[in-house]
Amino acid sequence: MNYVPASFAALRPLDNSVLVGVSLNSTGTLNVNGGTVNTPILFAGQGDNARPSTGTVNITNGGTINATLDSGPTGPLPGFPAVGIGRGLGSVGTVNVDGAGSELNAATGMFSIGRDGSGTLNITDGGKVIAGNTVFGSTVSSTGSSSILVQGIDSELNAVGNNILLGIATDLNPANTNHGTSTLNVRDGGNVIGNVFIGSGGTLKGDGTVTGGVTNFSGTILPGNSPGTLHITGDYTQNNGVIEIEIAGTSVFDLIDVTGSAILDDVLIKFIFVGGYAPQANDNFDFLRAASVAINNPTYEIAGLLPGFGYDVTNNNGLLSLNALTNGTAVPEPATLALLGLGLIGLAARRRRV
C-alpha cells in the first residue's frame, strides 16, 4: 500500500477516520495500491467555505477501502455519510477506483458526492463501488456539482437496492430547487445497480446498463455514446425534462432499451442528426423500446437538418419510432458555409468585372 502525503483528522465520536484535504487551502492525496484501508468514514475535499480544500483518493491494482460507518437510523451518526466527496463549499474531491479487484465498500453507509462543493467518482476498468445506503449526487445545495463515471466491462456502482439521486432535492420533490447539478455516465459495459432518480439538475447518459428503475423529474437523458444504446433493467418514468437522440445513419442511432414499462409525460424529445447525415423518405429510427410505452403530450425538435423535413413519431406495441416522411437536408458544416461564402464573393467579383 502506497501513501502519498495527505490530510488526516479524527471525526468524533468516531475516531480513526480518513479525511483527505480538510484544512484551509490544503491539497491531499491518498493512494491505495493493492492494499486495504479500514476506516469508519472516508472524506475527500471536506473543507467548507472558510476552509476550501482539495482531496484525491486513488484505489488501484486490487486495492480496497472499507468505509464501515452505519448511516442508518440505528447507526452512531444516523443520516451521516460514510463516504463524502467534495463535501464542503468551495472544496474539490475526487475518488478513482480503477481495475479489477479494486473496491470502495461502504456496505452499510451512504455516499455524498458534491454536497456543497465539487465531487467526482470514477469507476473504471472493472473497479467496484458498493453503497449500502443512498447515493446522493448534489442533492442538498445549489452550489454542489457532481460527476459519476462507471466505465468498462465489470465496472460497477452497486447501491444494493437503494436509491441514487442526481441533481434533485432529498425529498424527491421536483419543485424543490435546493440542489445542484449531477451527471451519471455509465458506458462501455459499465453497470449501475439501484433505482435512479433525476431532477432538473441531473443527467443520465451512456451506453451501459442501469439495473433498476429510472425516474426522471425534469432532468436529461442522453442515451448512447455517440450514438449507442442505454439499457434500463426495470421501469422508466419521465415527467417533463429532455431526451436527446443522436442519429448518424439508418443503423447508427441512440436507443433507450427498457425491460419494463415506459411512461413519458410532457417530455421534450430532441432528434439530433450528426456527422452530416440526412435521412431519406421512409427511413425509420426506433429510439425507445419497452414492454409497454405510454407517451402523453410530447414535444419534438429536429436539429442538424435544414427546415422542411417532414416526419412523424409512432408508438407500435412498445416501440417508439421516428419516421421520415420526406428527404432531409443536412445543415452544412461551418467550413462548407465558409467555402460557399467565398464562392459567392468570387462570383460577385467576376460579375463586377463583366
pLDDT in tens, 215-272: 999 999 999 988 999 999 999 999 999 999 999 999 999 999 999 999 999 999 999 9
Average pLDDT, the chain: 91
Ranges 1-10, 42-51, 327-336: which has the least confidence: 1-10
Work out the average pLDDT over 74-94.
93
CA distance 289 to 157: 24
Peptide bond into 13 cis (omega under 30): yes
Specify the DSSP element, H or E, that contains 106.
Answer: strand 103-106
Q: What is the pTM for the complete model shown?
A: 0.90
Interior angle at CA 46, CA 25 and CA 13, nearest 5: 130
Which residue type, as a one-letter code, is found at position 18? Answer: V
CA distance 140 to 157: 21
Work out the average pLDDT over 11-26.
74
Torsion sign (Cα): 147, 152, 155, 157: positive
Nine cell digits for residue 5: 502525503
Q: Is the pLDDT of residue 66 over 50?
A: yes
